Amino acid sequence: MNYHQYHPIDVVNGPGTRCTLFVSGCIHQCRGCYNQATWSLHSGHLFTQQLEDQIIADLNDERIKRRGLSLSGGDPLHPANLEAVLKLVQRVRAECPDKDIWLWSGYLLSELSQEQQQIVNLVDVLIDGKFEKDLADPELEWRGSANQIIHRFKL
């Protein structure tokens, strides 16, 4: 998997102070996408074991308390990202038990494959659906357009 950006301290993408990872790769081609540079799976940088370890360490860093991890992109549920994202969320669940996981995807919850669902089963919140420019509203919290749904599974 490749990623575009990792923010070890982020107060914009989800509630509280968080770690946020923007992965590479998205097939949805939403009109008005603000992040077209992430569409290619080959864009960005290689997501290494070292960065995975760093995210776990940052989540558990008591000096700056993080509420959880945000996964966005690109699309964390792009088929090519599933193996790496599953490993990461499994580690967060096992090694950072008091942290929440928020995940943004262009796929709908109702259309997920078994492999995608395996990841969603481990997250607290899924914001699903493509960005629809005609339904865009800057007043919306945690989503760009009104069609997207915030599914709160554990919060």
127 CB-near residues (< 8 Å, 6+ apart): 102, 103, 104, 105, 142, 143, 148, 149, 150, 151
Choice between 66 and 105, CB closer to ligand SF4: 105
List the one residue from 85, 131, 143, 148 that touches ligand SF4 (CB under 6 A). 131
In the bound state with ligand SF4, the residue whose beta carbon lies nearer, of 60 and 132, is 132
Give yes or no for a contact between 25 and 82, defined as CB atoms under 8 angstroms apart.
Answer: no
User: Is 126:153 a contact under the CB 8 Å cutoff?
Assistant: yes
Task: Give the 3-state secondary structure of residue 72.
Answer: strand
Q: Residue 57: phi, psi to the nearest 5?
A: -65, -40
Binding mask 24-63 for ligand SF4 (x = CB under 6 A): --x-xxx--x-x--x-------------------------
Q: Is omega for the bond preceding 73 within 30 degrees of 0, making it cis? A: no
DSSP state of 90: H
Closer CB to ligand SF4, 59 or 101, in the complex: 101
Q: Determine the Cα–Cα distance for residues 124 and 102; give it in Å rounded to an integer.
A: 6
Applying the rule CB under 6 A, the residues between 59 and 118 that interact with ligand SF4 are: 73-75, 106
Rounded to a whole number of angstroms, the minimum distance from the CB of residue 5 to ligand SF4 is 13
Q: Which is nearer to ligand SF4, 33 or 108 (CB)?
A: 33
Minimum gap (Å) between residue 49 Cβ and ligand SF4: 25
Among 4, 66, 99, 130, the residue binding ligand SF4 under the rule CB under 6 A is: 130
CB atoms within 10 A of CB 66: 23
Nearest approach, Cβ of residue 105 and ligand SF4 (Å): 7
What residues line the site for ligand SF4 (CB under 6 A)?
26, 28-30, 33, 35, 38, 73-75, 106, 130-131
